[in-house]
Amino acid sequence: MNCKNIIKELSNYLEDALDQPLKSSIEKHLEGCEDCRIVVDTTKHTVQIFCNSEPAPLPEETRARLRDALFKQLSHIRSQPKT
């Protein structure tokens, strides 16, 4: 196991979606690699904060711009000939 493999498997590791041998290999690597431990701990903490927080309200100006952009895109799609 190396640092690059840790990054590739990070999401699965944090979701506890790995088979036991791979999980054990990652944990063994984490015991000896401070950089990877920092990445794993920081990512885990970030996910926890995100999952436990309330969505920030969008300012009305941003809502209006998004609405206008969506309306424009939908109008464009509807105006294209169907094949």
Q: CATH number, domain at 55?
A: 1.10.10
Q: How many domains are there within the chain?
A: 1
CA dist., res. 5 & res. 64, Å (int): 43
DSSP H helix total and E strand total for the chain = 4, 0
Q: How far is CA 33 from CA 16, 27, 43, in A?
A: 20, 10, 16
pLDDT tens digits along 21-74: 999 999 999 999 999 999 999 999 999 998 888 888 999 999 999 999 999 999
* pLDDT (mean) for 77-83: 77
Local structure of 81: helix, strand or coil: coil
pLDDT of 55: 83
Name residue 2's amino acid: N
The residue range of the domain holding 38 is: 3-79
**What is d(CA 7, CA 12) in angstroms, rounded to the nearest whole number?**
10
